[in-house]
Structure 1
Amino acid sequence: MTPTAPITDANPTVEEMEARVARFRALAATNDYADAGIPGCERTTWRVIGTPPAAPLEAEGFHLNIVCCEPGKSAPLHNHLTQEVFVALSGRWEIFWGPTGERHVVLEAWDTIAIPAGVSRGFKNIAAEPAYLIGIASGRDPGNINWPAQVRAAAEAAGVRLP
């Protein structure tokens, strides 16, 4: 028999729930994504859910970021030890994957894709205007990222040190 969630009398106050709200206007953009220094990979990222203090809201087992890219900008091919889900909020996004990023699909607003753990992936804004994307990574530490040789070479050529 599959367990079900019990019905409880839990009723947090408005103040308690406000402490669990991340207001976009109050979020600070991150500047610690090393691969964002690679030409063509510039992007703005806001951590929303994950591990404080980097993210204002704590969650166990997943992390959520909001990303904004100018037209033609991307996150380069990379790999996590975890699953990653992308949700297009606006614009058009090419989600690419594989050892050299040779396969892709296009997401439009509200389209969603789930990339399995162990599959190299990246994304690119293919719209004519800045666009927003949500990235959700599973696991306690999805930050253990690795990049294929061609991305490491591009980073080195640009003077960017990838961990």
Structure 2
Amino acid sequence: MSKIESRIVRYGELQPCKTAFIDAHTPGSDQKENFTIIGGGVSESPDQHVHITDKIGFNIGAAGQPPKCRNSLHSHTTAEVFFVAKGRWRFFWGLHGTAGEFVAEEGDIFNIPTGIFRGFENVGHDYGMIMSILGGDDAGGGVTWAPHVIQDAQAHGLMLGENGVLYDSKKGEELPHNVSPMPLLTDEQLKDFPEVPVDAVIGRYVARYWDLAALAANAPAKVIGENAMIKDKPGFEVEFLARGSAQTKVVTADKPVVLMPARGHWRVSVNDVTTTVSSGDTVLVLPGERYAVAPSMTGEAGLYRITATDDPAGATWTGN
């Protein structure tokens, strides 16, 4: 296997974990598949397979779900960015998921504000996949579940320890004697999780695929960053490349770069080794490596390029 192939995770080779989170037995959420592509991810299960273990300043993961399957309400202290690789997805937020919602189509991207409860479900007709970018190397250290999610999970045999590890009574597991259950947030603590209105979220944190395709006709569209459509500094920058703005000239990466096709087939060259990737595939380019990327076939083509920055992977929701 060449060096470039060792840092490509292809869609057809993704290894899922079906017991990654506390709601793995809860009806309506019990068919989820979680994928950790680069970095440690956010899984609470020791069964989670990690494809590429490099620490690059952010994590790449994915969620696969059949129709009508949902991910339960939770919050993060670092960035959580999704773009739809396959299908149609409804995102919702607020303590009970009623503060706001919107439906994302293939290629759309959503930078979910930190500090609010959020969830998502597949509202399409087939198995769907969303790709995720999580801020920081320790993205798993910042997941907080809504209290009712923990209570529902316990009723179906799963308990989350204060150590962040899941214990499954259906497998005969119990909390170790020196580990307490994860405490539920108090009413006072829940006041710190705002019920953000829908206009404040969609207007500031969502970018639609076809808008990006138009903006990237001649130069890469800046999607997330200090001077981007979504003005944020979550520890990485996101750009969108189309046919007319592809990186056809070889450049040297100063920071870790991840290439994730949204549509079409793309030819990627890293240190003069060339391969082809498509939607659902992930490519890691390390600092000091020379790379180029361009569509390899006619037709629609879109690609997300994520680059690490020196910014801390901190809060995004300011309430303004």
Normalised by the length of structure 1, the TM-score is 0.82
The offset of 1:104, in angstroms, is 0.8
Q: Is the 8 Å Cα contact of residues 40 and 139 (structure 2) preserved in structure 1? A: no
Query: Over aligned residue pairs, what C-alpha RMSD do you find?
Result: 2.1
In the other structure, the counterpart of 1:101 is: 97
Residues 119-158 of structure 1: CA distance to partner in whole angstroms, max 9, x if unpaired?
A: 2111101112211111221112111321111212211222
The 8 Å contact of residues 35 and 162 in structure 1, kept in 2 or not, is answered as no
Q: Give the match for residue 68 of structure 1.
A: 64
Number of equivalences: 150
| Kept after mapping to 1: 8 A contact 2:61/2:131 | yes
**Segment of structure 1 superposing worse, 41-50 or 18-27:** 18-27
**Counterpart of 1:49 in structure 2: which amino acid?**
I
Is contact 2:40-2:140 (8 Å) kept? Answer: no
1:49-88 map, 5 Å:
49-51=38-40, 54-57=49-52, 58-88=54-84
> CA shift at 1:54, angstroms?
4.2
Deviation, structure 1 residue 112: 0.8
Q: Which SS does the other structure have where 2:152 is aligned? A: helix
Over 6 Å off, 4+ runs: none
Aligned-partner SS, 1:89: strand
Match of 2:4 among 13, 17, 23: 17
Match for residue 111 of structure 1 among 87, 108, 111: 108
Residue ranges of structure 2 left out of the alignment (5+ in a row): 42-47, 162-320
User: Letter of the aligned partner of 1:125 in structure 2?
Assistant: N
Choose between structure 1 and 2 for higher RCO, CA contacts under 8 A separated by at least 6 residues.
1
Partner Cα distance (1:15, 1:129) in 2: 34
Consecutive unaligned residues of structure 1, counting only runs of 5 or more, are 1-13
- Is the CA contact 1:72–1:124 (under 8 Å) kept in the aligned structure 2? yes
Higher strand share: 2
Which amino acid counterpart does residue 97 of structure 2 have in structure 1? G
Query: Separation in 1 of the partners of 2:126 and 2:50?
Result: 27
User: Counterpart amino acid of 2:56?
Assistant: E
- Name which of structure 1's ranges 52-61 and 68-77 shifts more when overlaid on structure 2: 52-61
Using the TM superposition, name which of 50-59 and 149-158 deviates more.
Answer: 50-59
- SS of the residue corresponding to residue 8 of structure 2 reads coil
Q: TM-score, normalised by structure 2?
A: 0.44
Provide the C-alpha distance between the structure 1 equivalents of 2:8 and 2:102, rounded to a whole number of angstroms: 32
| Corresponding residue of 1:149 | 147
Q: Is residue 44 of structure 1 aligned with residue 33 of structure 2?
A: yes
SS in 1 for 2:150: helix
